Amino acid sequence: MIVIFLGPPGAGKGTQCKFIVDTYGLKHLSSGDILRRERSEGTDLGKEAQGYMDSGKLVPDDLIVAMMMKEIAACGDLSGFVFDGFPRTIGQAKELDKAMAQAGKKIDVVLNLQVDDSLLEERVCGRRSCLKCGAAYHVKYMAPKVAEQCDNGCGKLSQRADDTAETVKNRIAAYHAQTAPLVEYYNEQGNVKSVNGNVAIDLVTTSLKSVLDEVKARIK
């Protein structure tokens, strides 16, 4: 089963991605993680990407797709993959389709996790973490025992610099600008399944499982 997972910042996609990977035995493929690793290992693809980045240019879509397909080829015989944060543009989606066709593979489902913008802002801006022990909190949904203080006695909690209201609004706007065309693109292929992400985590998980169980049964 090959899955594309779309979701805005703060939607809880990381939590749900872990569930999907663990439950269905899929390989988690994050374009950002793979790009960073290719660069740090100094591979040919990584060096080529670094050249674009050093000159202030965007890494071309075909190069990003080549990295992803290299990762797929190296994974051997797995149950499938879940693409996280990829593709980001129509160009990447088209390049991915071509590469998948050449490899004799296809996307089975595109999960579109939908969350209201106002809720996204609340979720992201309320995140806190402890820089000493790594504990994660949320001022509303997972509040520490003492406001802004780590439960483990480490002291004051930290907020990421990009978790401010203004930055979050910009990130959400950018996501909508990039993702709306992607949803339309995959809708034309008939493989988009939208899931309500406004509800509790366990209800989102149940909805995703229902969709993926159906897809798994269909492709057997």
Going by pLDDT thresholds of 50, 70 and 90, the confidence category of residue 107 is very high
pLDDT(58) > 80: no
Q: Which residue has the tokens 């035995």?
A: 25
Over the Cα atoms of the chain, what is R_g? 19
Structure tokens of 184? Answer: 């339309």
Q: What is the mean pLDDT of residues 106-124?
A: 93
pLDDT(79) > 90: no
Torsional class of 85: left (φ above 0), alpha (ψ -120 to 50), beta (otherwise): left
Sign of CA dihedral 25, 29, 30, 32: positive
pLDDT digits (tens, 9 = 90+) for 152-211: 999 999 998 888 888 889 888 988 888 889 999 999 999 999 999 999 889 999 999 999
124-150 burial, b for 16+ CB within 10 Å, e for fewer?
bbbbbbbeeeebebbbeeeebeeeebb
pLDDT confidence of residue 30: 84
pLDDT(76) > 70: no
Q: Range with the lowest mean pLDDT among 12-26, 78-92, 185-199? A: 78-92
Q: What is the mean pLDDT of residues 108-123?
A: 93
pLDDT confidence of residue 209: 97
Domains of the chain: 2-115+174-219 (3.40.50.300)
Q: What is the mean pLDDT of residues 19-41?
A: 88
pTM of the model: 0.82
Sign of CA dihedral 142, 148, 150, 156: positive
pLDDT confidence of residue 77: 63
Percent of the chain with pLDDT over 90: 48
Structure tokens of 159? Answer: 């907020």
Highest mean pLDDT (candidates 61-70, 106-115, 164-173): 106-115
- The residues carrying an active-site annotation are 13, 88, 127, 160, 171
Going by pLDDT thresholds of 50, 70 and 90, the confidence category of residue 114 is very high
